[in-house]
A and B are shown apart, each in its own frame.
Chain A
Amino acid sequence: GQQVMQIPQYQHVQEGEDFTTYCNSSTTLSNIQWYKQRPGGHPVFLIQLVKSGEVKKQKRLTFQFGEAKKNSSLHITATQTTDVGTYFCAGRDSGYSTLTFGKGTMLLVSP
Protein backbone atom coordinates (compact mmCIF):
# COMPACT_ATOMS: atom_id res chain seq x y z
CA GLY A 1 0.00 0.00 0.00
CA GLN A 2 0.90 3.62 -0.25
CA GLN A 3 3.42 4.93 2.23
CA VAL A 4 4.22 8.51 3.04
CA MET A 5 7.45 9.23 4.85
CA GLN A 6 8.08 12.54 6.54
CA ILE A 7 11.33 13.90 7.95
CA PRO A 8 12.53 15.06 10.34
CA GLN A 9 10.35 13.71 13.13
CA TYR A 10 11.27 16.59 15.36
CA GLN A 11 13.05 19.92 15.09
CA HIS A 12 13.87 22.53 17.69
CA VAL A 13 14.85 25.98 16.37
CA GLN A 14 15.48 29.42 17.76
CA GLU A 15 12.94 32.05 16.86
CA GLY A 16 13.97 33.67 13.59
CA GLU A 17 15.59 30.55 12.14
CA ASP A 18 14.17 28.80 9.12
CA PHE A 19 12.52 25.38 9.17
CA THR A 20 11.83 22.77 6.51
CA THR A 21 9.97 19.47 6.60
CA TYR A 22 10.06 16.95 3.76
CA CYS A 23 7.54 14.42 2.61
CA ASN A 24 8.16 11.46 0.29
CA SER A 25 5.64 9.05 -1.16
CA SER A 26 6.23 5.53 -2.40
CA THR A 27 3.75 6.17 -5.22
CA THR A 28 2.90 9.05 -7.54
CA LEU A 29 0.29 11.27 -5.94
CA SER A 30 -2.64 13.06 -7.50
CA ASN A 31 -2.45 15.72 -4.81
CA ILE A 32 -0.89 16.41 -1.45
CA GLN A 33 -2.30 18.35 1.47
CA TRP A 34 -0.60 19.89 4.48
CA TYR A 35 -2.05 20.20 7.96
CA LYS A 36 -0.91 21.84 11.18
CA GLN A 37 -1.76 20.56 14.64
CA ARG A 38 -1.12 22.79 17.63
CA PRO A 39 -0.26 21.07 20.92
CA GLY A 40 -3.44 19.63 22.39
CA GLY A 41 -5.41 20.54 19.28
CA HIS A 42 -6.69 18.93 16.14
CA PRO A 43 -5.18 18.99 12.64
CA VAL A 44 -6.10 22.05 10.61
CA PHE A 45 -5.85 22.20 6.84
CA LEU A 46 -3.19 24.54 5.47
CA ILE A 47 -3.00 23.99 1.72
CA GLN A 48 -3.32 21.58 -1.18
CA LEU A 49 -0.88 21.09 -4.06
CA VAL A 50 -2.03 19.45 -7.27
CA LYS A 51 0.29 20.28 -10.16
CA SER A 52 3.74 18.92 -10.84
CA GLY A 53 6.36 21.43 -9.66
CA GLU A 54 3.75 23.62 -8.00
CA VAL A 55 4.89 26.22 -5.48
CA LYS A 56 2.48 28.04 -3.20
CA LYS A 57 3.13 30.63 -0.53
CA GLN A 58 1.22 31.66 2.55
CA LYS A 59 3.03 34.56 4.19
CA ARG A 60 6.20 32.97 5.64
CA LEU A 61 5.23 29.43 4.56
CA THR A 62 6.32 28.03 1.18
CA PHE A 63 4.95 24.74 -0.08
CA GLN A 64 6.41 22.79 -3.00
CA PHE A 65 5.27 19.73 -4.92
CA GLY A 66 7.96 17.79 -6.74
CA GLU A 67 8.15 17.40 -10.50
CA ALA A 68 7.45 13.68 -10.23
CA LYS A 69 4.60 14.31 -7.77
CA LYS A 70 6.19 11.95 -5.24
CA ASN A 71 7.65 14.47 -2.83
CA SER A 72 6.75 17.73 -1.19
CA SER A 73 8.18 20.21 1.26
CA LEU A 74 7.08 22.93 3.63
CA HIS A 75 9.50 25.72 4.41
CA ILE A 76 8.93 28.33 7.09
CA THR A 77 11.04 31.48 6.90
CA ALA A 78 11.99 33.23 10.13
CA THR A 79 10.03 31.04 12.52
CA GLN A 80 7.92 32.56 15.27
CA THR A 81 6.69 30.98 18.50
CA THR A 82 3.23 30.81 16.95
CA ASP A 83 4.60 28.28 14.45
CA VAL A 84 4.93 25.67 17.19
CA GLY A 85 3.07 22.47 16.41
CA THR A 86 3.19 19.32 14.34
CA TYR A 87 3.05 19.60 10.57
CA PHE A 88 1.60 16.72 8.59
CA CYS A 89 1.62 16.01 4.91
CA ALA A 90 -1.11 13.81 3.49
CA GLY A 91 -1.05 12.33 0.01
CA ARG A 92 -3.76 10.89 -2.16
CA ASP A 93 -3.34 8.35 -4.93
CA SER A 94 -5.36 8.84 -8.08
CA GLY A 95 -8.71 7.08 -7.84
CA TYR A 96 -8.65 6.78 -4.07
CA SER A 97 -10.97 8.59 -1.68
CA THR A 98 -8.62 8.61 1.27
CA LEU A 99 -5.46 10.39 2.29
CA THR A 100 -2.36 8.73 3.70
CA PHE A 101 -0.74 10.87 6.36
CA GLY A 102 2.94 11.15 7.07
CA LYS A 103 3.94 10.74 10.73
CA GLY A 104 4.42 14.46 11.07
CA THR A 105 7.23 16.80 12.04
CA MET A 106 7.00 18.37 15.47
CA LEU A 107 8.37 21.91 15.49
CA LEU A 108 9.44 23.61 18.69
CA VAL A 109 10.45 27.26 18.57
CA SER A 110 12.37 28.85 21.43
CA PRO A 111 12.13 32.62 21.94
Chain B
Amino acid sequence: DAGITQSPRYKITETGRQVTLMCHQTWSHSYMFWYRQDLGHGLRLIYYSAAADITDKGEVPDGYVVSRSKTENFPLTLESATRSQTSVYFCASRTTGEGSPLHFGNGTRLTVT
Protein backbone atom coordinates (compact mmCIF):
# COMPACT_ATOMS: atom_id res chain seq x y z
CA ASP B 1 0.00 0.00 0.00
CA ALA B 2 1.32 3.44 -0.86
CA GLY B 3 0.48 4.68 2.65
CA ILE B 4 3.28 2.76 4.32
CA THR B 5 6.81 2.94 2.99
CA GLN B 6 9.99 1.21 4.04
CA SER B 7 13.55 2.19 3.27
CA PRO B 8 15.90 1.03 2.08
CA ARG B 9 14.49 -1.80 -0.06
CA TYR B 10 17.82 -3.59 -0.02
CA LYS B 11 20.73 -3.32 2.39
CA ILE B 12 24.02 -5.15 2.71
CA THR B 13 26.00 -4.59 5.88
CA GLU B 14 28.85 -6.19 7.74
CA THR B 15 28.75 -8.08 11.00
CA GLY B 16 29.01 -5.75 13.97
CA ARG B 17 27.75 -2.63 12.21
CA GLN B 18 24.71 -0.70 13.30
CA VAL B 19 21.93 -0.42 10.75
CA THR B 20 18.55 1.28 10.89
CA LEU B 21 15.54 0.32 8.84
CA MET B 22 12.95 3.02 8.34
CA CYS B 23 9.18 2.78 8.26
CA HIS B 24 6.80 5.65 7.57
CA GLN B 25 3.00 5.60 7.34
CA THR B 26 0.65 8.35 6.26
CA TRP B 27 -2.61 6.99 7.69
CA SER B 28 -2.05 8.08 11.31
CA HIS B 29 -2.54 4.47 12.36
CA SER B 30 -1.99 3.99 16.08
CA TYR B 31 -0.38 0.58 15.86
CA MET B 32 2.85 -0.23 14.07
CA PHE B 33 4.71 -3.52 13.88
CA TRP B 34 8.02 -4.97 12.77
CA TYR B 35 8.15 -8.54 11.46
CA ARG B 36 10.96 -10.60 10.06
CA GLN B 37 10.35 -13.27 7.46
CA ASP B 38 12.65 -16.25 7.10
CA LEU B 39 12.21 -19.43 5.12
CA GLY B 40 10.58 -22.03 7.29
CA HIS B 41 9.62 -19.56 10.00
CA GLY B 42 6.92 -17.45 8.42
CA LEU B 43 6.39 -14.00 9.89
CA ARG B 44 7.72 -13.41 13.38
CA LEU B 45 6.97 -10.30 15.40
CA ILE B 46 10.02 -8.35 16.58
CA TYR B 47 8.52 -5.26 18.22
CA TYR B 48 5.31 -3.33 18.09
CA SER B 49 3.97 0.02 19.18
CA ALA B 50 0.47 0.98 20.24
CA ALA B 51 1.09 4.73 20.02
CA ALA B 52 3.88 7.28 20.04
CA ASP B 53 6.33 6.61 22.89
CA ILE B 54 4.78 3.20 23.62
CA THR B 55 6.65 0.12 22.43
CA ASP B 56 6.61 -3.54 23.40
CA LYS B 57 8.53 -6.68 22.63
CA GLY B 58 7.29 -9.34 20.28
CA GLU B 59 8.41 -12.91 19.80
CA VAL B 60 12.02 -12.25 18.69
CA PRO B 61 13.22 -8.88 20.08
CA ASP B 62 16.83 -9.72 20.96
CA GLY B 63 19.38 -7.66 19.07
CA TYR B 64 16.86 -5.04 17.97
CA VAL B 65 15.89 -1.60 19.24
CA VAL B 66 12.88 0.49 18.26
CA SER B 67 11.61 3.96 18.95
CA ARG B 68 8.46 5.87 18.14
CA SER B 69 8.79 9.55 18.79
CA LYS B 70 6.19 10.38 16.11
CA THR B 71 3.06 8.46 15.19
CA GLU B 72 4.07 8.13 11.56
CA ASN B 73 7.58 6.73 12.02
CA PHE B 74 8.76 3.48 13.55
CA PRO B 75 12.45 2.83 12.88
CA LEU B 76 14.08 -0.51 13.67
CA THR B 77 17.76 -0.53 14.64
CA LEU B 78 20.11 -3.46 14.69
CA GLU B 79 22.73 -2.25 17.15
CA SER B 80 25.40 -4.77 16.15
CA ALA B 81 24.29 -6.79 13.17
CA THR B 82 24.83 -10.55 13.10
CA ARG B 83 24.53 -13.01 10.21
CA SER B 84 21.46 -14.53 11.86
CA GLN B 85 19.71 -11.21 11.29
CA THR B 86 19.88 -11.66 7.55
CA SER B 87 16.21 -11.63 6.65
CA VAL B 88 13.38 -9.77 4.98
CA TYR B 89 11.89 -7.19 7.34
CA PHE B 90 8.31 -6.00 7.04
CA CYS B 91 6.78 -3.04 8.74
CA ALA B 92 2.99 -3.00 9.20
CA SER B 93 0.38 -0.72 10.66
CA ARG B 94 -3.27 -0.83 11.65
CA THR B 95 -5.94 1.23 13.35
CA THR B 96 -6.90 0.78 16.99
CA GLY B 97 -9.75 -1.65 16.31
CA GLU B 98 -8.59 -5.09 17.46
CA GLY B 99 -9.95 -6.74 14.34
CA SER B 100 -8.56 -4.22 11.92
CA PRO B 101 -6.25 -5.66 9.26
CA LEU B 102 -2.53 -5.16 9.01
CA HIS B 103 -1.21 -3.05 6.15
CA PHE B 104 2.31 -4.09 5.21
CA GLY B 105 5.11 -2.14 3.61
CA ASN B 106 7.08 -3.56 0.70
CA GLY B 107 9.80 -4.89 2.93
CA THR B 108 13.55 -4.45 3.36
CA ARG B 109 15.85 -7.28 2.34
CA LEU B 110 18.82 -7.15 4.70
CA THR B 111 21.98 -9.17 4.19
CA VAL B 112 24.61 -9.27 6.92
CA THR B 113 28.00 -10.48 5.68
Return chain B residues, CB-CB under 8 Å to A104: 42-43
Return chain A residues, CB-CB under 8 Å to B102: 33, 35, 43, 45, 90, 99
Closest A residue by C-beta to B50: A97
State whether the Cβ of A42 lies closer than 8 Å to any Cβ in chain B. yes
Asked whether B99 lies within 8 Å of A103 as measured between CB atoms, the reply is: no
Q: Interface digits, A75-93 against B, CB 8 Å rule (1 contact, 0 not)?
A: 0000000000000101010
Chain A nearest Cβ from B105, distance in angstroms = 6
Asked whether B31 lies within 8 Å of A103 as measured between CB atoms, the reply is: no
Number of interface residues of A (CB under 8 A): 24
Q: For this complex, into which size category does the number of interface residues on chain B fall?
A: 20 to 34
Q: Which residues of A, 4-48, contact B by the 8 Å Cβ criterion? A: 6, 30-31, 33, 35, 41-45, 48
Asked whether B99 lies within 8 Å of A50 as measured between CB atoms, the reply is: yes
State whether the Cβ of A101 lies closer than 8 Å to any Cβ in chain B. yes
Question: What total of A-B pairs shows CB separation below 8 Å?
Answer: 53
Closest A residue by C-beta to B38: A103
Q: Which residues of B, 2-49, contact A by the 8 Å Cβ criterion? A: 31, 33, 35, 40-45, 48
CA distance A12 to B40 in the complex (A): 17
Residue of A30, A45, A102 with most partner-chain B CB within 10 A? A45
| A88-B31 CB under 8 A given contacts A43-B104, A50-B99, A99-B102 | no
Return chain B residues, CB-CB under 8 Å to A58: none
Asked whether B43 lies within 8 Å of A43 as measured between CB atoms, the reply is: yes
- List 21 A–B pairs whose Cβ atoms lie within 8 Å, in order of A's numbering: A6-B42, A30-B98, A31-B98, A33-B102, A42-B90, A42-B105, A43-B43, A43-B90, A43-B102, A45-B101, A45-B102, A50-B99, A88-B42, A90-B43, A90-B102, A97-B98, A101-B35, A101-B43, A101-B44, A102-B42, A103-B42
8 smallest beta-carbon distances between A and B, as pairs: A45-B101, A103-B42, A42-B104, A101-B43, A101-B42, A43-B104, A104-B42, A31-B99
